[in-house]
Chains A and B, each alone.
Chain A
């Protein structure tokens, strides 16, 4: 069955770099797109960026050049890397699969990341 699972640190220091891995199963990264979405505590969902099935990427301009998304298809993993973390980057980070209807049909459970000074 389709599954996505995010793994990453619980705590990141101010101005440091966040790295999260999304490991997928039940589908191929060369067939489906994988997106990153985050949610600050008590707030709404924010789209961050995408890894397209063809290997290209797309980013929310709100993150300017801080954000990088990559993948390792042999390991069925998609990586999020974001630098210069601030306290307002404290959030739960989700990866989600996007299918041919452009809908997010499967989501990971998310990883809660706190940025600490």
Chain B
């Protein structure tokens, strides 16, 4: 299975720029997606195919990468961005998710 590795947690101040990384154990081309999950809610799609912003998602969010290394950037971070962020690949079977990065605001 394709293992996706994310840093477990980050803490930033509002207005700062934050990058969340996701490293795949094998190439996933650009079939990488990013989701935001707030406590008690279902995940919501932020970025698809590595760098495409989902409709309705603020332009503060952006994604980049291909192959095995991917990044989700939030710039500037707002208080409402407190959440856990997951990467997910759909290039290899089975679909897999990263362990999630919990973003906290200082």
Q: How many A-B residue pairs have CB under 8 A?
A: 54
Chain A residues with a Cβ closer than 8 Å to the other chain, count: 23
For window 21-79 of B, CB contacts with A under 8 Å fall at: 31, 33, 35, 37, 41-45, 48-49, 52, 54
| Chain A residues, CB < 8 A from B33 | 102-104
On whether the beta carbons of A44 and B49 are closer than 8 Å, the reply is no
Please give, as numbers and ranges, the residues of chain B lying within 8 Å of A107 by CB-CB distance. Answer: 42-44
Out of B35, B41, B94, B98, which one reaches A58, CB within 8 Å? B94
Residues of B within 8 A of A104 (CB): 33, 35, 43, 45, 88
Q: Number of contacting residues on B, CB 8 A? A: 24
Which residues does chain B contribute within 8 Å of A103, judged by CB atoms? Answer: 33, 45, 48-49, 90
Residues of chain B having any CB pair with chain A under 8 Å? 31, 33, 35, 37, 41-45, 48-49, 52, 54, 86, 88, 90, 93-100
16 contacts between A and B (CB under 8 A): A35-B95, A44-B86, A44-B98, A44-B99, A45-B43, A47-B97, A61-B94, A94-B43, A98-B90, A101-B49, A103-B33, A103-B49, A104-B35, A104-B43, A104-B45, A107-B42
